[in-house]
Chain A
């Protein structure tokens, strides 16, 4: 890539930094250039977030319809999978799967709810009272 071809598109990066890219200068030597972003990857990132939002919305409906417990919704909201949530809570994947059932969730002790609330960065009340 030539220095003058380095894209300078608007993207979420502008809230943080410009990024270093390796480009060829006019003498054909490598140098570094700073880029504000590139539309091609901005579109990819936007798509990924659209997908996350759709999944979160589907999870919200599932809680609302009584098919899943609030753990499922917050897991999607915080873009976690079983491995990550298991890491933060210390519960086995198998245990978390059980806790996704609304009936099982109802019977969870405050101590267990606290572990989930901490992982999701919310209060126990918020977790318990989430109705979708």
Chain B
């Protein structure tokens, strides 16, 4: 409508859509780390016996969609969401919103996303972008991982909104409504809640495959891989870990740098110096995740292949788990 939409590039697509839409609606204090932290984006989970793209099923973040939902809930912002079984209705609704001048978030699959290079087009269905206008037959698109805005034809838009398979978007469209100014007290509460929830997830998820215990579980598996899978497959598995951890959208170090940036901002808002110290711990963890990726790279590049090389990778993961555990224990004990 009257307001002009501003494209913002972020590390992660969901954080980006959330940050841009909330800023558009007048919440100018919003940053990607704040959305990520208040929405408790940091996580770790290694699901055993399940393979994705013929590799281990590991994630460094919480479920798609949850970050935005939690962040908005904490800030008292109402989000309207819609999914469709009918493609015409989905298109009509999107066109209607654009006519009203409302930028909207859309969940899409990347397999048919034309501006992604072929190398990145897997059947990943939880990508997010903003549609903020339409010119002739092209939608104006702000994809948060891109440096600039882009466009999608009507045909391509329909295809990516109705990609199929796990996490199929089903035309999922969402937008905040009726956004009111957020008092500082509410922001502070949101930050504390985000930290507490992340701490709980990382320390107390039962079952031994989530949180810091999950990192140890992965380490234990890695030690077995050369024997169990053979050199080639074990290498591919390590490659998959590195891609999940470092590929576009993580901000580096499996989201740990992003979380450290959040704690840094939180320490300013809450005037709490301890948070800054703990932020350093997550920077350390992120640096170790990067070092671990370098180590794994030497194996899948074929430069290293002995059991002791796999053990060295696992040792770093064990060390990371300990650092993160101690940092979260400090957060848990904190008096707010």
Contact = CB atoms under 8 A, between A and B. Distances in A.
B147 to A, nearest CB: 5
Q: Which 8 A-B pairs have the closest CB atoms?
A: A87-B164, A84-B165, A44-B239, A22-B257, A12-B119, A30-B261, A40-B297, A15-B117
Interface of B: 9-11, 33, 53-55, 115-117, 119-120, 122-123, 145-147, 164-166, 168, 235-236, 238-240, 242-243, 246-249, 251-253, 257-258, 260-261, 264-265, 283, 286-287, 290, 293-294, 296-297, 300-301
A88 B165 contact: yes
Interface residues of A, number: 34
A96 B165 CA distance: 14
Interface in A60-107: 79-80, 83-84, 87-88
A77 B116 CA distance: 18
A113 interface: no
A54 to B, nearest CB: 10
Contacts of B242: 40-41, 44
A34 to B, nearest CB: 7
A1 B290 contact: yes
**Most B CB atoms within 10 A — which of A18, A39, A80, A84?**
A84
9 contacts: A1-B283, A1-B287, A17-B145, A23-B257, A30-B261, A41-B242, A41-B246, A44-B240, A47-B235
A66 to B, nearest CB: 25
Given A1-B286, A17-B147, A41-B242, 11 more contacts: A1-B253, A1-B290, A16-B115, A20-B251, A22-B11, A22-B252, A30-B33, A38-B246, A43-B300, A44-B239, A48-B239
A19 interface: yes
